[in-house]
Structure 1
Amino acid sequence: MKPQLIIALIFLGFSYTLSAQSIKKDTVLMRRLDTMFKYDQFWRKEYAKVMRKEKSAYDEDSVQKNWATADSLNEIEAKKILKAYGYPGYDLVNEKGSEQFWAIAQHCDDDVAFQDRVLKLMKVQVAKNNANKENYALLVDRVLVNKHQKQIYGTQVHVDPKTHKATPLPLKYPKSVNKLRRQVGMEPLEKYLKSFE
């Protein structure tokens, strides 16, 4: 090999190593998101236990009160995070942390304007392959439904309590919903709806 080619390859390898090292994860933020997510999920799991009449250390009223408190506290923290970092993508908090932030934002239904800001910032990260596009689609639908508008991807559903059959809330593009779902990596709507039965 020519000496110039060898030097160029060594330089490229060295540059790649430096650039990989310069992308540093925010481990403090990752731990913060992990704690928030555990708190978010704890009361949802307890609620599911109570609804299934399984053993729980809490009654339904205390579960619902604690659930509301957890969501309120997480919303306050999520707003601080969004203001400080924008949407935390994979490059900042890994896939797990990014998806935990998304789940917390997804549960901030009492502040649709905040969810809308999350969506706008998440869209930028999705375009860079730095956030989950399926989660983005779920939040798009959630925000549209919260605004009393028709959803795009059919992710927000009504489940009949007697038949357990799920039907999507009104769709903006019912004829092309599966094509739209495929574009963001989602399974066909029919299969998704069956998962609720």
Structure 2
Amino acid sequence: MKTTEPLRPDIARELITLAEQSAERRAQRVRNQLDAVQLGRGRHADHANAKVLRRILSDHDWPGRPLVGPDGAQAAWIIALHSDDEPDFQRAAAVLLRRAVQATDAPIQHWAHLHDRALINNGHDQVFGTQYLLGANGIELCALREPSTLDQRRAGVGLPPVAAVLEKMRHRFPPMRGDGDSPTVVLAGAA
């Protein structure tokens, strides 16, 4: 089987580098290993990453698999997902990602996660149950629209039942120990 080179490997490399750095900062944040200065730097880096992705979206639309390959497309999704301080940008990126999904240039699961994240960051309930809060009591689902049909909606976008994901996440992220004042962190659930 022949692997097709993306049309813009330069953009792919840039996105992958930014997403890897973002993932490392997020992992440290979840483990509560960042002080206030480092948290501020991380927010600044997420803003700068969103600015890079905004430029790419403006020039190329959503950077799907043909443009940047599967790793570059996933990196673009991660950057958009971590642009929590820019909810309007997240919402616009979700629209472009949805178009890429319709053109079979991106996985529908990426769109479901970004759509939910954009909803949460714009003050609405999520649809697919992909966003979770990690706090002193452990993992909990963010606010959810129509919980009784959640697993049907998840199946429609190729996601497993929410109970299976919650079980895995609760093993991975047990309740935080400490004074109860630990910050709450929004996490995207595993697909």
SS in 1 for 2:83: coil
The partner residue of 1:32 within 14, 23, 36 is 14
- Which string of whole-angstrom CA distances, capped at 9 and with x for unpartnered residues, describes residues 118-165 of structure 1? 111111110122101111101111111112111111112234524x2x
Query: 1 CA distance for matches of 2:132 and 2:6?
Result: 39
Query: 2 CA distance for matches of 1:48 and 1:150?
Result: 23
Residue of structure 2 equivalent to 1:140? 115
Task: Say if 1:144 and 1:150, in contact at 8 Å, map to a contact too.
Answer: yes
Residue of structure 1 equivalent to 2:144? 171
- State the TM-score, normalizing by the size of structure 2: 0.80
Query: 2 CA distance for matches of 1:78 and 1:128?
Result: 20
Q: Which amino acid aligns with 1:178?
A: D
- Which string of whole-angstrom CA distances, capped at 9 and with x for unpartnered residues, describes residues 29-76 of structure 1? 111112211221232233345x2x6xxxxx523321221221121111
Query: 1 CA distance for matches of 2:124 and 2:130?
Result: 13
Residue of structure 1 equivalent to 2:153? 180
Segments of structure 1 that go 5 or more residues without pairing to the other structure are: 1-19, 54-58
- C-alpha change, 1:47 and 1:147, in structure 2 (3 Å) is closer
Larger Rg belongs to: 1
Residue of structure 2 equivalent to 1:3? none
- State the TM-score, normalizing by the size of structure 1: 0.78
Residue of structure 1 equivalent to 2:177? none
Query: 1 CA distance for matches of 2:11 and 2:111?
Result: 21
Query: 1 CA distance for matches of 2:105 and 2:92?
Result: 17
Q: Which amino acid aligns with 2:166?
A: L
Percent identity among equivalent residues?
A: 25
Segments of structure 2 that go 5 or more residues without pairing to the other structure are: 171-191
Q: Which amino acid aligns with 2:90?
A: Q
- C-alpha change, 1:24 and 1:134, in structure 2 (3 Å) is closer
The partner residue of 2:127 within 152, 164, 167 is 152
Structure with a larger share of its residues in helix = 1
Query: 2 CA distance for matches of 1:48 and 1:129?
Result: 33
Query: 1 CA distance for matches of 2:141 and 2:25?
Result: 26
Comparing 40-49 and 85-94, the one that deviates more: 40-49
The one of the two structures with greater contact order (alpha-carbon pairs below 8 A, sep at least 6) is 2
- C-alpha change, 1:45 and 1:150, in structure 2 (3 Å) is closer
Query: 1 CA distance for matches of 2:65 and 2:45?
Result: 25
- Aligned residue pair count: 169
Residue of structure 2 equivalent to 1:191? 164
Task: After TM superposition, give the deviation of residue 110 of structure 1 in Å.
Answer: 1.5
